[in-house]
Amino acid sequence: MRVGLGVGEMLGGRVLRVTARALPLALVVGLFGASQSDSAGALGPAILLSITVAPAVTSITQGATQQFTATGAYSDLSTKNLTDTVTWSTSSSSTATVSNAHGSQGLATGAGTGVATITASDPATPLPGTAALTVTPALPIPTTTVPTIPTTIPTTVPTIPTTIPTIPTTIPTIPSAPAVLVSVTVAPPVANVAVGAGEQFTATGTYSDLSTRDLTDSVTWSSSLTTTATVSNTGLATGVADGVTTITATDPGALMSGTAVLTVTPAPPIPAVLVSVTVSPAAANIAVGAGEQFTATGIYSDLSTQDLTDSVIWSSSSSGTATVSNTPGSQGLATGVADGVTTITATDSGTPVPGAGVLTVTPVTTPVSPAPQVPQLALTPASGKKKAPVLARGSGFTPGNAITITYLSGLKAHQRASTVLCRTVAATNGTFTCHGTIPRGRRSGKRGNHTIEATGTSGGMSTSNFTLVRR
């Protein structure tokens, strides 16, 4: 959309020159390098930014009329005819009046000679738009005189003048009216800043003679929401909290204003800074030739942590005692060289912030083979009746070996000779526990001692006696 401004100069009721100027409203988008759809989506619902009154500058004679129109420009770059919804007013009703009556809104009538400012104000915002109207004296109505027709024919020929009267070569200068402030434009019309950041606004006045003037330092600046942004007397706005506010520049003499929309977004997060590096384990012991893997963890100012094992630089205070690798795939792996104590250090290459651990290297010792363990089985209780619960505990079995606990009744019949009480697996230390129940009926055998045996599938067996007190 383009906003037009025009001016006409009157001389003897004739228009001598008309000048027009067009100002692009799409400059709003161009200032930010964004498309119209992007700008509209970022601002949410469309907001009325300005009102343009057309014609911006015009002249009429006393008693004549001039129809003005009002067009609203919105933050999504759309426009709307507001002629019938704005409130029309004149700065000098003795010079010109303007109608708010239904069907003739914006119709101005010349009342007396002079210059009047015609204003269209939006009742909701209220944003104004203005135009300059010059009223000149009414042109006199020429009177026509009918010549008298002579009744007699003259007998003498009138004398023809021999001299031609001098025609004036200069046109008298008509004094022009002084330039009147027509509008105030705030730039940029739409802006975005983060909380704590600033945005410089400027105010430009457009006058009835189409001249412009920088009014940034002379207008009064204000913000519709000071909790969102404040603005200084020089037009510098500062974001306070996220939200949207209207920045207004008002000329104190003409009481004309221009507006802009400022969106304040949350301040970007402060980047986390590495505070310390922790090496783990903090202390370790290895034998000569053995290895110890160290890790480095970074602690940052936002209390987050990050594994830096592969990015730090590893070093040993005594490479004759132990070395530490910086080779990809084995960073932080220390290897004992000779008995002694050394400090393993991890240093961040960007900061540099160090972290350290202590490594003690001991001489190689010949390990003593442990004595082989003998499988053992214990029963709790060791005696009882038929159907009595029993707990079998074992030790000395091969770790991971499947263990079967079997009750031997002493009977010859194959079905009654043995009963599996429970099954389990030996723990890593060779022990196990298993719950079972002494069989009932004839499967339990006669009163007296009976053998309960624990057998491993990959070797190892132990027995224990259970005394059956009665059937």
Determine the straight-line distance between the first and last CA of the chain, rounded to whole angstroms.
109
The boundaries of the domain holding residue 417 are 376-468
Domain boundary among the residues 265, 292, 308 is at: 265
Q: What is the pLDDT of residues 249-268, one digit of tens each?
A: 999 988 899 999 999 999 88
Residues 198, 337 within the same domain: no
Residues 461, 404 within the same domain: yes
Residues 242, 284 within the same domain: no
Q: Using CA atoms, how far apart are residues 277 and 345, in angstroms rounded to an integer?
A: 10
Residues 280, 243 within the same domain: no
Check if the beta carbon of residue 450 is closer than 8 Å to that of residue 466.
Answer: yes
Residues 284, 341 within the same domain: yes
Q: What mean pLDDT is predicted for residues 43-59?
A: 87
> Does any domain span residue 46?
yes
Residues 203, 117 within the same domain: yes
Residues 343, 395 within the same domain: no
Instruction: Tell me the CATH number at 320.
Output: 2.60.40.1080
Q: What mean pLDDT is predicted for residues 327-335?
A: 95
Instruction: Tell me the CATH number at 416.
Output: 2.60.40.230
Residues 94, 210 within the same domain: yes
- Whole-prediction pTM value? 0.35
> Does any domain span residue 164?
no
Q: What is the pLDDT of residue 424?
A: 92
* Backbone torsions φ then ψ of 185, nearest 5 degrees: -115, 130
Q: Report how many helices (DSSP H) and strands (DSSP E) the chain contains, helices first.
A: 3, 40
> Does any domain span residue 41?
yes
Greater confidence (468 vs 358) lies with 358
Residues 96, 202 within the same domain: yes
> Does any domain span residue 163?
no
Residues 358, 437 within the same domain: no
Domain count for the chain:
3
Q: Residue 368, exposed/middle/buried by CB under 10 A (0-12, 13-18, 19+)? A: exposed
User: pLDDT band at residue 151, thresholds of 50, 70 and 90?
Assistant: low
Write the CB contacts of 82 (distance below 8 Å, at least 6 apart in sequence): 51, 70, 71, 72, 120, 122
What would the two tokens of residue 350 be?
């960007």
Q: Using CA atoms, how far apart are residues 119 and 369, in angstroms rounded to an integer?
A: 106
Q: Using CA atoms, how far apart are residues 66 and 133, in angstroms rounded to an integer?
A: 9
390-415: burial string, b at 16+ Cβ within 10 Å, e else? bebebbbbbeebebbbbbebeeeeee
Domain boundary among the residues 245, 265, 285 is at: 265
CA atoms within 13 A on the CB side of 9: 11
Q: Using CA atoms, how far apart are residues 409 and 417, in angstroms rounded to an integer?
A: 5
Domain boundary among the residues 265, 291, 323 is at: 265
Greater confidence (213 vs 416) lies with 213
Q: What is the pLDDT of residue 365?
A: 76
Greater confidence (157 vs 327) lies with 327
Residue type, 56: A
User: pLDDT band at residue 141, thresholds of 50, 70 and 90?
Assistant: low
* Backbone torsions φ then ψ of 195, nearest 5 degrees: -60, 130
The mean predicted confidence, pLDDT, of the chain is: 84
> Does any domain span residue 157?
no
Write the CB contacts of 105 (distance below 8 Å, at least 6 apart in sequence): 83, 84, 86, 88, 99
Residues 211, 327 within the same domain: no
Sheet holding 376-380, edge to edge: 376-380, 389-395, 432-437
Residues 399, 432 within the same domain: yes
Write the CB contacts of 54 (distance below 8 Å, at least 6 apart in sequence): 4, 68, 69, 71, 131
